[in-house]
Amino acid sequence: MEYFIGAIKNYATFTGRARRKEYWMFILFYTIFYIGLIVIDGFLGTFILSTIFSLALLIPSTSIAARRLHDTGRSGWWQLIAIIPLIGAIVLIVFLAQDSHDENKYGLNPKLA
């Protein structure tokens, strides 16, 4: 849970690096909360809660993905590859799942810090 809250605290920080564990734990909790809100919305007959949740976490999820891409040595702009149907999402997931590089232009390896 600390990774989720940490990502929200750094909601507009597009600089630096994020470890693989930090990114995927954020995605795990995001998915759990989102599914829970969809279930609640289903009982209520509206989809307002899940929509508000998604919009509220749009910038934090974009910033942590940019920091994760920085950790692999890529620019955060690589997130735009997801616009390409199917292939783009697969390539982005592969980029996000790769291991950290030591030191790059985005800073020191967070594993070593």
DSSP line for 41-107: HHHHT--HHHHHHHHHTHHHHHHHHHHHHHHTT--GGGGGGGGSTTHHHHHHHHHHHSPPPSSBTTB
pLDDT: which is higher, 40 or 107: 40
pLDDT digits (tens, 9 = 90+) for 28-86: 999 999 999 999 999 999 999 999 999 999 999 999 999 999 999 899 999 999 999 99
For the chain, which residues make up each domain, given as ranges?
Answer: 2-97
Q: How many CB atoms lie within 10 A of CB 28?
A: 12
Is residue 63 within 8 A of residue 6, CB to CB? The reply is: no
d(CA 84, CA 98) in angstroms, rounded, equals 20
Question: From CA 88, how far away is CA 60, in angstroms rounded?
Answer: 21
Q: Is residue 113 pLDDT above 70, yes or no?
A: no
For residues 96 and 18, is the Cβ–Cβ distance under 8 A?
no
Sign of CA dihedral 18, 65, 27, 89: negative
